[in-house]
Structure 1
């Protein structure tokens, strides 16, 4: 059975450096992908929530922001409390401005204190350490800050030690990074805490620049020492579905194309993708339908047929299940083509 996701809360205030938060989420996605590649459907996973200053989840935004405001879909039961909190840096011009940001958000300061008391991991980037320190729960800890903030921080929080020359610090519940490039260091440390040492080492290897390894990979590929991805049951089945998307679904024909029995095919899909071949086919068809709704003026009925559905009503039900909105509504929101009536050109003098 899949494990419960490790959840990270990312509170944002109007002054937050949004780029820090988005980059950190990209790193979490990369860690999840690596874990899935190594361990398959049983891999551990990290989820995240973007919150406002009062701890309320931010509403889901349209693509591409939806990839950040919504974590990877979870099937492990109801969401639980977070196990870590990440505070990005602030867009503040100077130290007095940082102090004003902290003073404007006492509710968030209290939430950080509650998180530390609950044993959650606390991660801060740059001057986000001010807000964490204001919680009063980090006395006697060590932190990393950019050198130009150190004097002011030391005056405000004399009970917290700063280590010159160290870009990031892992001190008990508190992981602090001085500069944006330390987001990778924080992510690796969090992977170690959430996933264990083995996956953390693999993640660190993937994230570290290595020009010699890149050159060696190119040379090995040129000399054909690295073969192409090997054939597999799933690859054969998926390739056949993609080539026969509009044809009626037949589990027997699909299994024949994959050179396995129907039972074996179902087992592979469930073990690797946690879904049936038919569910996967519906997702492929809905992906085609989304493109056609966006870039063509074909009717919904015609698109249904082009995507393998003889019954437009069945197509609408499946589209809503996979996309979350009816086809007509999706077109209204995402169409890249104007309606035909807007194409009409008035004849001069007509």
Structure 2
């Protein structure tokens, strides 16, 4: 039987902790046999989860015997990961154990150094902080999860469900995973593939960054046909230096940041107006409605029309 160890650290996010427990304890194989044995592990017997306290029956030593380790998110990203936890995770990875993170659990995995040189994701709101703190990681804020084989990361709390179902499918095939999805009242693959829905007023910007003025200028002028040279001139630097600074401080490129600013503006218009999609395409700076639809679906994971149907309120 496959053993899943769920690691609980201080100020663990309750939903992130319960997600793998709920998913993996319900998975059954043909004949009704359980597919997974789940263990909640912690450095201390009791862990504060905010709304409740977790009693962990297993310590860090249990990680060594697990086939998969799941790292739930923590509410305080500034809290250092204890050295004994980092040591246990590195040892488990060296022994071939699969490690997956949910939401801000990516910061725990990043602290081990195991993600260096790899692509990873986390909640879109925390992505700039992950990229700034770990520039050696290619942070992709546009996906629900990233599968690097042994190491996997997922986005927000709901994306943790997608990741757990993906692991079940990897381990036992689509039929078993589909049954697990039905028990979780989830589609095995959500509409939108692996793309996150970007929410919030604007793409997150690093507070106090030297790039902040140009980022705000780009956001205010997203509808213009801006080139990399235009942005570099505004920042009073070369295009090469601009690209380097963007990757260091935002985890992406200037033109990709601009694309997301345009998409975010389009989302707002889709949510709050009845403007036709073709008009919105022009308003947010796309050369053609076709290009807008293609880029919107690539970034958001669904069509503008489907997004409007899902998210438009009862406003004007």
Higher relative contact order (CA 8 A, sep 6+): 2
Larger Rg: 1
* Between structures 1 and 2, the one with greater helix share: 1
What is the TM-score normalised by the length of structure 2? 0.50
What is the TM-score normalised by the length of structure 1? 0.45
